[in-house]
Chains A and B, each alone.
Chain A
Amino acid sequence: MLFRLLKKWVTPAPTAQKIGRGILVFEHTSDVIRAEKTLKAKGWEVAVMGPPPEIRTGCDLVIEFPLIEELGITKTLEEANTRPLKVVPVTSPLLNPVDIYTTKDYGDYLMVRAANMKITVDKKTLTIVNISGGGCPDVPYLAGELVGKRLSEAPRPGDIGHTLCGYALQLAYEEIKRQCSPL
């Protein structure tokens, strides 16, 4: 009995960590990517997450933020002309984006995979030679914009992509840039 009381006293409520967090919901994933960039540049503590089941449609991303900062954050977004569709307090656990990268060394080429997206570069010239995987409609567009360009001159997938596959490609792109950077 004493042990149970003690356990109750020291164990936080299951949702304690999420109390005081909210999510910003946008129409398109590209709006989320733009808002995340704007907020992080202004120093706000935010994270991109998967939406709760009740508002999922299929290709969604939301921004999680400290609810106490709602006023400042929405003002920052309004100034950047990136208004969210709605602001919702977090009441259920959110899904984390993938954070595992797989690297394959082909000798002259290096391939990095993040989630379902793969990017391959020529190690000597750092030219992007292929992009594969994915299933959202911006993948062929992103491949068309990136393949044949050097990593240093190619557009960032996050700046021109509109979907979760585009966001995954941004992660793979950042990882392969990191791996190809001189020490």
Chain B
Amino acid sequence: MLAVVGTVPDPAFPLVTGQVALSGEEIFIQDQQARINRGTPALLASAAKVCEALNLPAPFAYLAGDKGMGDGSKALYAHLENDLEHRSFQALAFHYLQPDVDWHDRVLFAIDEMTPRPLLIADAGFMYAAKMSGQAALYDLFTPDVGELAFLADELAPHPFYTRGFILHDDRRVPDLIQRACAHDNAATHLLVKGAEDYIVKRGKTVETVSAPSSPAMEAIGGTGDMVTGIASALATSGMALTDACVAAAKISRLAGQRANPTPATQVLDIIEQIPAALEDTF
């Protein structure tokens, strides 16, 4: 089973854990619900669509409300520190969380107690903390966009906000950025770099690129990167090799995008709804 850790932008949303159900424009966990617009709900909804189509168990979510003050993230970190050793997941995907190196390390210690060790996937704020902690190489998959790849490639930057200019200028030279991130041990063993051309990387070597079909408007649409991470995370629990899961996720998200015929004003839910059809097109 896939487990996803993240936040929703509502301070009144309590810490909840449980399997996710989808209905209309919302995800449901226990007695709580959250709108699928972007962020972790978009990742969960995308993963749930894949799990449903492939007859996999629905994703398990650890969710808390956090509007950026870090309180919900800290509550989640503290919960995970005590909870994870009692759980068994095939994959654990960390997402929109306030980057905090100390708490990151404590969660990683808790994961060490899990048997078997799950696949570790990180995106968004938790990926920033993983890189800053110097322990990126312990992860199985990072899913940066090209801007975030430049941050991973900058060995001095603690957050994308501080990526140095000469590296940001290089963001069209993705292979060079991949090499630089790996050379400084700031990459997971696998990377799915999301961009005009998606790069699937294993131990520093690009194993495949995916560039078609192309819908350039998707870069502007909030949540499309979350969708790719959600699809890849769900496929990783289906028995596929991680590189194959990443290649398929890149293709499925592009096909879903093409089916939605997006403009830069399209909202991600319109694309997520196309995932089942895109899955059929792919497999």
Contacts and interface: CB of A to CB of B under 8 A. Distances in A.
A58 B158 contact: yes
B259 interface: no
Contact of B99 (A58, A95, A97, A141): A58
B221 to A, nearest CB: 6
Interface string B86-115: 000000000011111110100000000000
B161 A111 contact: no
Interface string B145-161: 10110010000111111
Given A111-B220, A140-B39, A132 B159 contact: no
Nearest to B65: A137
A168 B100 contact: no
B40 to A, nearest CB: 8
A122 B168 contact: no
Given A95-B162, A135-B123, A58 B69 contact: no
B124 to A, nearest CB: 3
A164 B70 CA distance: 12
A116 B160 contact: yes
A136 to B, nearest CB: 5
Most buried by B among A95, A96, A99: A95
Nearest to B10: A141
B276 interface: no
A59 B99 contact: yes
Contacts of B39: 137, 139-140
B190 interface: no
A134 to B, nearest CB: 7
B216 A58 contact: no
B68 A135 contact: no
B67 A109 contact: no
B32 interface: no
B219 A104 contact: yes
A140 B159 contact: no
Interface in A1-50: 28, 30, 50
A11 to B, nearest CB: 24
Given A116-B148, A118-B220, A138-B9, A109 B264 contact: yes
Given A133-B147, A162-B67, A97 B219 contact: no
B224 A132 contact: yes
Given A111-B219, A135-B124, A143-B38, A161 B162 contact: no
Contact of B264 (A60, A130, A136, A168): A130
Nearest to B35: A144
Interface in B109-137: 123-129, 132
B220 A97 contact: no
B72 to A, nearest CB: 7
Contacts of B263: 106, 108-109
Interface string B199-237: 000000000000000001101111111000000000000
B161 A164 contact: yes
A140 B37 contact: yes
A167 interface: yes
Contact of B219 (A115, A132, A138, A165): A132
A61 B158 CA distance: 11
Interface string A92-103: 000111111000
Contact of A58 (B100, B160, B219): B100
B222 A137 contact: no
**Nearest 4 A-B pairs (CB), nearest first?**
A138-B68, A135-B124, A162-B68, A141-B9
Given A109-B264, A111-B219, A115-B168, 15 more contacts: A50-B162, A58-B101, A59-B125, A60-B159, A96-B164, A97-B162, A99-B165, A109-B265, A115-B160, A116-B148, A143-B38, A143-B222, A162-B67, A168-B160, A168-B161
Interface of B: 7-9, 37-41, 66-70, 72-73, 96-102, 104, 123-129, 132, 145, 147-148, 151, 156-165, 168-169, 216-217, 219-225, 263-267
7 contacts: A56-B132, A57-B100, A59-B98, A60-B159, A99-B165, A138-B9, A167-B161
Interface of A: 28, 30, 50, 56-61, 95-100, 104, 106, 108-109, 111, 113, 115-116, 118, 120, 122, 129-141, 143-144, 147, 161-168
